[in-house]
Amino acid sequence: MRRTPWTLAAVALATAVAGLSGCATPQAGPQPTQEIPILTGPPDAPAPPEWTNPPGEKLSAASATAASPSNVAQPPKSLNIDEVVRRVARSEKAAAVVVKDRTSGTVVLSERADRSFYAGSLVKLMVGVDALMRHPGDSRMAQDVNYMIKRSDDQMCSRFWMSEGGGVAILSRMRQQMGLKGTKAPTDPGQWGNTFITANDMVRVYEYILTQAPAAIRTVIVDAMANATEYGSDGVRQWFGIPSYGTKQQWAVKQGWTTSGKGQMSVHSTGLVGKNWHYIVILLTEHPEGQKFEVPMRSVTTAAAAVEPYLT
């Protein structure tokens, strides 16, 4: 059989997955292995340009809108999410927040909504929806996708990333299906955690799941998010941010945490909050690599608490 680039990538990926657990430096406590991108290129490959030239910011249409008359939805309020995050994580590089009221259709909070961040495990929502769409009625597939999202399982995501025509193809299908505007494939197609996403696109992902996806797909995805385990498959506590700040409201979440090995650390908390999933809440943050995840995770929890007053 002719060896295609994806065949070679699959071999490299299998090798990387097999050796992933042995690559971490021993630490006193459990350290996250989740969402560390699976490297398929040579170890001495030059750093992708996005690490040295982080994606620029664009103003969202919502945040650029001037004040409207009282009978028209008002523009989003301001929280200064960077300041909130830096109260805990002083070295934070960037943060974004969007809160959307699904009942009124109003974006009540929006900051840096179109800035690009590395997705980490947030990409699993797109990977999961794509797999379910390509295998309708497959109960085993539904169980696997549910497990991947509920436990944020990396090996399952890596399997789908390769088996469903390759990650670039998955993202291309989901961009078209969900109407995504800022989501882009990673520079190295083997590094699914380095997919580019924006807060506004994450809102679009959730809106698609809740209002446009077939009911069977919506049930699998939302059930997994609403039953996200306290600890992920790697043993790291994933109840930070939205699940962790003391809210009494219902929640369904997909979290993300990832390091690049080249200077970036991203920690995200996203999901649905309130009765009938009244709100979509997106919190994205970026930090310097070389630290443990605990402080950035606490900073995201602080940000979630600051967002709570907007969920009324």
> With 50 as the cut, is the pLDDT of residue 310 above it?
yes
Other Cβ atoms closer than 10 A to 84 = 22
Tokens representing residue 156 in the block:
């399952």
d(CA 218, CA 240): 24
pLDDT at 33 over 80: no
- Residue 312 is predicted with a pLDDT of 86
At residue 63 the predicted structure's pLDDT band, cuts being 50, 70 and 90, is very low
pLDDT band, very low/low/confident/very high, at 260 (cuts 50, 70, 90): confident
Give strand pairing partners of 286.
94, 266
Whether residue 10 is predicted with pLDDT greater than 80 in this model: the reply is no
Q: Which band of pLDDT confidence, cut at 50, 70 and 90, is reported for residue 76? A: low
Give me the pLDDT at residue 176, please. Answer: 98
Residue 110 confidence (pLDDT) above 70: yes
Closest CA to 270 of 216, 232, 228, 218: 228
Cα 47 to Cα 258: distance, rounded to the nearest angstrom: 16
Q: Is the pTM of this model over 0.85?
A: no
Write down the mean pLDDT value for the chain: 81
Q: Taking CA 120 as the corner, what is the angle to CA 99 and CA 244, rounded to the nearest 5 degrees?
A: 50
Whether 61 has a pLDDT exceeding 50, the answer reads no
CA distances from 239 to 127, 150, 253, 265 (A): 22, 12, 9, 18
pLDDT band at 71 (very low <50, low <70, confident <90, very high): very low
d(CA 127, CA 192): 10
pLDDT in tens, 158-184: 999 999 888 999 999 999 999 999 999
Split at pLDDT 50, 70, 90, the class of 74 is low
* Phi, psi for 285 (deg, rounded to 5): -140, 155
What's the confidence (pLDDT) of residue 153? 98
- Would you place residue 75 in the very low, low, confident or very high pLDDT band (cuts 50, 70, 90)? low
The Cα–Cα gap between 184 and 201 comes to: 11
Q: What are the residue ranges of helices labelled H in the chain?
A: 5-19, 49-52, 61-64, 81-86, 123-134, 139-150, 154-163, 167-178, 199-211, 215-226, 294-307
Strands 251-259 and 264-273: antiparallel
